[in-house]
Structure formats: C-alpha cells, structure tokens
Amino acid sequence: MTYCVGLCLDQGLVMASDSRTNAGVDYISSFSKLHIFQPAPDRLFVLLAAGNLATTQEVLHRIRRDLDQALNPDPSRVAPSQTLLNVAYLFEAATYVGQVSLAVQNEHGPALRQVGAGVEATFLLGGQIAGQPPGLYLIYPQGNWMTATPETPFLQIGESKYGKPALDHIVHPGLSLEDGARVCLVSLVGTARSNLTVGPPYEVAICPRDLFAPSSRLRLEADSEELRELTQSWGERFREAFYGLPRFPWEQPGDAPPPPPDSPAPT
C-alpha cells in the first residue's frame, strides 16, 4: 500500500510520501514514490505515485522519454506533441500525465485483469510554471483530475484515512512550508501506526513559490534520529492533550490519571 500527501500553500508546495509498496508476513519492499522534474528554468513538477508499481514505473519512464525526445530531437523519430517541457499551464501537465497513465493501463490492463491483478494508478502532481501560481492536482486512474483549493489546500492518495485528521485540524493556506512539512510527517507517522502497509523511509520535498526548484528534500529512514524524535514528541503531545480534556461533572479534579508512557511505533 502507499500513502502520499501534497499541500498547496500561499508560500508554495509541500509534497510527501512513504516508500512502502508491498507488505506481508515475509516480504516488504520499498520504492521511492516522489519524483521531481525540472525540464526548464521556468517550471517545476513533483509527481507522487500510488497504485500498481509496474504502471507507475512505466508512466514515469514514458514521461522521461518524451522529455528526452523534446530536449534532444531525433529526425528519425516523431517528436511527442506534448511534454512537461511545452505545456503552457499546470492543468495541461495534469491532463498529459493522466493521458500517459491511461494509455499504460489500457495497454496492460486486459492481460492483468485476466489473472485478477489490478492495473490502476493514481498520482498527485504539484508544480508551478512561471507567471502562474503553484498548483496541486489529483490525477485519477481514468485520466481525469481535480485540483486543490484554498478551502481544501491538501490532497491525498493511497491509504489516506488515518492521516487526514491531522491535516483537517492544522492545514490552512497561510501555514508555513516548514510547518507544512512537519504536519505531512505527522500524517505519515499516524498512518503507519494504524496501518502496517505504510512505512518509512519517508520523503518530503519543500518547493517555495517562484523558486522552480525544491529548497529542501528530506528522506527519513526508519532508524533516523529525526524521525524517532518527531514520533515520540507527537505521541507525547497527543496524550497530553487527551488527558487535559475537561472532566465529567461527576469526576473529582484529581481523578485524571497521568499519561502512560509511549509505546514503540511500528516501522
């Protein structure tokens, strides 16, 4: 399983994902799901992927192939009509990625479905083209998309339900990029604690408005000190908030027990 989240804030974009793609009693594998494209100085695209790993990998290879052919034309080959290099608007980039994804699914879907395997893939595309504001799009397996808005400045794909409460309570357009990165990590940690199919390494890209490049890219391994401190601190604050809730009318002020010690989070 997978969990990816993107924030579209006044200051720019935050894109984050886990790296676990398959989990079972005897097998766990990890692949990066955060991919950055900088085809020209005036544009930046960050793509997060969830779903069938073979589909997402072929989509990424086709996007890179189209870019390579656009940047290095070969007279013996027909150049692609649309790439991340020549789209004029971010929504055109989302449409292009959706078309590539749908083409891959249509090509391999019949054979995979005959053996009961799913071929679907879902993507989050964040980015900016010069002269336009940053944007964030959720691209469905069917190739269509929806965009983040000031009222809902975050989008999720994959195992999204466990990490959504933190986003609902904290994320707003005026949130700083650093706080956005922290809440994305909290959302990932909370999801991993509730669902073992999501897990580290966690990747985060911070993309300030009008920079057209990530200012920071983090990769937190399961045994990293930064991840351990964040997980422990969030758990402690969560329990403190719970035990600080108002008592029922029949309780005495001293009835509240002390918060219990933290238990190790799954990795």
* Stretches in the chain below the pLDDT threshold 70: 1, 21-30, 253-267
Give the domains, in start order, of the chain with CATH numbers: 3-222 (3.60.20.10)
Phi/psi at 54 (5° precision): -65, -40
DSSP single-letter state for residue 94: H
Query: What pLDDT, on the 0 to 100 scale, is given for residue 23?
Result: 40
Which pLDDT tens digit goes with each residue over 4-13? 999 999 999 9
Query: What pLDDT, on the 0 to 100 scale, is given for residue 266?
Result: 45
Which pairs from 25-32 meet CB under 8 Å and 24+ separation?
28/199, 30/199, 30/201, 32/203
Closest CA to 120 of 50, 181, 66, 71: 50
Sequence-separated (6 or more) residues with CB below 8 Å from residue 169: none
Query: What pLDDT, on the 0 to 100 scale, is given for residue 258?
Result: 62
Closest CA to 125 of 190, 42, 50: 50
Sequence-separated (6 or more) residues with CB below 8 Å from residue 82: 66, 92, 96
For 229, left (φ over 0), alpha (ψ -120 to 50), or beta? Answer: alpha
Tokens of 127: 């980015």
**Identity of the residue numbered 81:** S
Percent of the chain with pLDDT over 70: 90
Distance separating alpha carbons of residues 47 and 137, to the nearest angstrom:
10
Query: What pLDDT, on the 0 to 100 scale, is given for residue 25?
Result: 42
Query: What pLDDT, on the 0 to 100 scale, is given for residue 22?
Result: 55
pTM score, whole prediction: 0.88
Query: What pLDDT, on the 0 to 100 scale, is given for residue 32?
Result: 83
